[in-house]
Structure 1
């Protein structure tokens, strides 16, 4: 991420409690990924924030929109979609570990907050659709496109007792 563009001056807010300001940013990112998905390279995050002064603190609320790419966990098709990550954070001069972020004199760095919000919204095991049939484990045919005719694998005889259980 371009760190400089995510360091925001807040001197004007701190001089008058209750004052508000909107920020609209577009920032290129790299390296935001979890397991089966990542933020698309070369696509900018769109960040919309509302900053509000609150005594010796600044409250940051807003959203981040990002395009992510990955593979369907069942059929391995490439996927691309957008996500919207909510942001709500408090910046203060004496931050509480794990609860608030540091306010450094007259500026705040929202990069860690943006990174965390986006990473939490990325799908861990993306699917192209809830009804994705996946690949045949025997021949590799994409069962969304064609039936392969392979016989269903017989279950392990050690689990036969469980096959007799019926749940409502």
Structure 2
């Protein structure tokens, strides 16, 4: 049995019955452009409740993720807690309307890996920051401003206006 599966043999087909359980394992292939949970420990404290359509799984999940700061591009590790997970696993022979999605029960087990993967990807921040006051990188040399300053000069001029600056200088010379 996989580390992220759980047997529902005792409660399947018995609406109202439930079991509390904990699963621990790792997830592979969970990543976004700025985050990854690959190989990090995942702990889920869940309740499996038998309903007419199958098994309703609710609970909380804790995982660790390595994120890349959107400003300074350094990696940092952070906890990704999911306070409320709620998903239906359909029993064989039951269907939901086409607009609704559900996971399916395989044999007498529920495979929690797809559920946990989906929930964690949705919980990962879109623009992670290593600190709320992260100063980012110098756009000219790439120096991490959190580690120190650089010798670059700030050039506030937009290169698209360079031709107009030349015309302005010529006008100033002719009028001056």
- TM tier relative to shorter chain: 0.7 to 0.9
Partner of 1:88: 86
Q: How do 1:92-103 and structure 2 match up within 5 A? A: 92-93=90-91, 94-96=94-96, 97=98, 98-103=100-105
Aligned with 1:118: secondary structure?
Answer: helix
Residue 73 of structure 1, aligned match among 70, 73, 84: 70
CA contact (8 A) 2:13 2:52 kept: no
Tell me, yes or no, if structure 1 residue 14 matches structure 2 residue 16. Answer: no
Residue 46 of structure 1, aligned match among 43, 46, 52: 43
Q: How do 1:51-70 and structure 2 match up within 5 A? A: 51-70=48-67
Partner of 1:164: none
Aligned-residue Cα RMSD (Å) equals 2.2
Partner of 1:130: 132
Which stretch of structure 1 is more off in the superposition, 103-112 or 129-138? 103-112
Tell me, yes or no, if structure 1 residue 28 matches structure 2 residue 26. Answer: yes
Q: Give the TM-score normalised by the residue count of structure 2.
A: 0.77
Which stretch of structure 1 is more off in the superposition, 3-12 or 27-36? 3-12
CA contact (8 A) 2:13 2:51 kept: no
CA change 1:22–1:151 in 2 (3 A) is same
Structure 2 residues not aligned, in runs of 5+: 162-176
Q: Give the TM-score normalised by the residue count of structure 1.
A: 0.80
Distance 1:30 1:56 in 2: 30
When Rg is computed on C-alpha atoms for both structures, the one with the higher figure is 2
